[in-house]
């Protein structure tokens, strides 16, 4: 076995715990340093990651360390591009939480910097590398549903203010249901059906204000600055059409997460915000479960970083690629543009479907 990929964590918030739960059981990745705006939070994260893990005072200090090969970027979305660019400038590979950047220009800058430096950039979500999406993809690739014709993708909730103590950022520019949850669904759809070439859509903002439902700020009202119900139709390269609904305005629903419909059968795909779950096929005789046939078993947040480490060691492309993340970001922003303009718009970016996980 080769040397472990030495990783410095930038951002020690709640999501860092999920990553550590996965990374602490892998030999291919070793945490060597942590930094956060809150020093106490950084120290707590470092203590959990191991006795030898250093606490760096700043991002600049962390990316300058000789014992950091790659940066795990777990900062807030507005800081994703700045941290990635700082890491690349210091000669470090990057794996970041979604989204890749706040807009197309920032995403393009990150891709260009990585190419110029000969470095790798990977990006969540890595949920699509688990057994759920990968088993479904293998069924599509093996022709079990015939030629894909259509898909549906639904993410519906009444809004995060019902449970989140500080939900305002979900309702500010850069937030909303599509940009918050869309990366999971669109990354899965690209895995299943390929990149998107055209979109059309509509969106609405039924409420101008929201009220926090629990916690110390219960009853506090705040303004809504983004559309909270987004629906669209996506045309994939092979011609399949996906109907997409992302909403913070639906109290309850009995909608599937993702379904893919072909000329020979229909496929039920589990929640793309998780790594596993049942995959079922309907050939006209009722829904039947498919056995797990692809994907990482027991995967968790950080599986994409482990895949990056393996790809670096083997000299192959990594699967949770920045190009995929940039395309997903472009699809989401183009859909919002199409909804605002009231017309279909082309998606000018594209990407390769990542290699399947067998």
Task: Write out pLDDT tens, residues 328-346.
Answer: 999 999 999 999 999 999 9
Which pLDDT band, with edges at 50, 70 and 90, does 120 fall under? Answer: very high
Start-to-end C-alpha separation, the chain: 21
Q: What is the structure's pLDDT at 174?
A: 84
**Residues near 217 by beta carbon (within 8 Å), at least 6 away in sequence:** 165, 166
What is the CATH number for 200?
3.30.360.10
Q: Which residue in 11, 24, 5 sits closest to 92, CA to CA?
A: 5
Q: Quote the tokens at residue 47.
A: 């203590």
Question: Which one has a higher pLDDT value, 256 or 174?
Answer: 256
Q: Do 100 and 139 share a domain, yes or no?
A: no
My answer on whether 173 and 253 are in the same domain is yes
- Residue 289 sits in which domain range? 130-293+326-346
pLDDT band at 2 (very low <50, low <70, confident <90, very high): low
Given 83, 102, 123, the domain boundary residue is 123
What is the average per-residue pLDDT within 151-156? 98
- Residue 307 placed within a domain: no
Which of 67, 98, 123 terminates a domain? The answer is: 123
Question: Per-residue pLDDT tens for 258-311?
Answer: 999 999 999 999 999 999 999 999 999 999 999 999 999 999 999 999 999 999
Would the pLDDT of 317 be above 90?
Answer: yes
Q: How many domains does the chain have?
A: 2
Does residue 106 sit in the same domain as residue 182?
Answer: no
Determine the Cα–Cα distance for residues 126 and 94; give it in Å rounded to an integer: 14
Q: Which residues pair with 261 in a beta bridge?
A: 150, 266
Q: What pLDDT score was predicted for residue 272?
A: 97
Let me know if residue 321 belongs to a domain. Answer: no
Q: Is there a contact between 129 and 295 (Cβ–Cβ < 8 Å)?
A: yes
- Asked if residue 96 and residue 178 are part of one domain, the reply reads no
Residue 91 and residue 119 in contact, taking contact as beta carbons nearer than 8 Å: yes
Report yes or no on 309 lying in a domain: no
With both helix axes pointing from N to C terminus, report the angle between 177-193 and 131-141 in degrees, rounded to the nearest 10.
Answer: 40
pLDDT attached to residue 349: 97
**28 and 118 part of one domain:** yes
SS3 content of the chain, % helix, strand, coil (to 5): 35, 25, 40
- pLDDT at residue 334, rounded to an integer: 98
Cα–Cα separations (whole angstroms), residue 49 to 44, 45, 124: 9, 6, 21
Q: Do residues 150 and 95 share a domain?
A: no
CATH of residue 75's domain is 3.40.50.720
Averaged pLDDT score across all residues of the chain: 96
Domain shared by 110 and 134, yes or no: no
Last residue of a domain, one of 123, 156, 189: 123
pLDDT band at residue 1 under the 50/70/90 scheme: very low
Q: Please tell me whether residues 135 and 111 are part of one structural domain.
A: no
Say if residue 57 is in the same domain as residue 195: no
Statement to judge: residues 37 and 176 lie in one domain: no
The answer to whether residues 209 and 221 touch, using CB atoms and an 8 Å cutoff, is yes
Q: Are residues 119 and 136 in the same domain?
A: no
What three-state secondary structure class fits 341? helix
Q: Model-level pTM?
A: 0.95
Decide if pLDDT at 108 tops 70.
yes
Region 76-85: what's the mean pLDDT?
94
């Amino acid at each position: 076995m080769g040397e472990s990929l030495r990783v410095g964590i930038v951002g020690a918030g709640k999501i860092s715990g999920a990553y550590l739960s996965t990374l602490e059981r892998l030999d291919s990745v070793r945490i060597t340093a942590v930094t956060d705006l809150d020093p106490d939070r950084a120290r707590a994260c470092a203590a959990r990651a191991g006795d030898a893990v250093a606490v760096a005072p700043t991002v600049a200090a962390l990316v300058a360390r000789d014992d950091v090969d790659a940066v795990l970027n777990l900062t807030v979305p507005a800081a994703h591009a700045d941290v990635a660019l700082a890491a690349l400038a210091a000669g470090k590979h990057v794996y970041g939480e979604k989204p890749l950047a706040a807009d197309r220009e920032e995403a393009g800058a990150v891709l260009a910097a990585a190419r110029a430096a000969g470095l790798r950039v990977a990006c969540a979500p890595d949920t699509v590398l688990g057994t759920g999406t990968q088993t479904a993809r293998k069924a599509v690739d093996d022709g079990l549903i015939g030629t894909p014709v259509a898909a549906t993708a639904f993410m519906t909730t009444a809004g995060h203010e019902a449970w989140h103590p500080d939900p305002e950022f979900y309702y500010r520019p850069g937030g909303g249901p599509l940009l918050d949850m869309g990366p999971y669904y669109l990354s899965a759809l690209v895995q299943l059906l390929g990149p998107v070439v055209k979109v059309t859509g509509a969106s609405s903002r039924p409420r101008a204000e929201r009220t926090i439902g629990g916690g110390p700020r219960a009853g506090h009202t705040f303004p809504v600055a983004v559309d909270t119900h987004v629906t669209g139709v996506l045309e994939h390269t092979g011609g399949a059409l996906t109907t997409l609904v992302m909403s913070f305005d639906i109290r309850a629903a009995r909608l599937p997460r993702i379904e893919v419909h072909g000329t020979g059968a229909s496929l039920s795909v589990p929640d793309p915000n998780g790594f596993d779950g049942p995959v079922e096929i309907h050939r006209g005789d009722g829904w039947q479960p498919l056995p797990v046939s692809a994907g990482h078993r027991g995967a968790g947040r950080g599986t994409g970083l482990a895949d990056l480490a393996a790809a670096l060691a083997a000299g192959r492309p990594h699967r949770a690629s920045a190009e995929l993340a940039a395309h997903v970001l472009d699809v989401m922003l183009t859909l919002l543009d199409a909804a605002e303009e009231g017309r279909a718009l082309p998606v000018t970016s594209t990407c390769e479907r990542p290699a399947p996980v067998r």
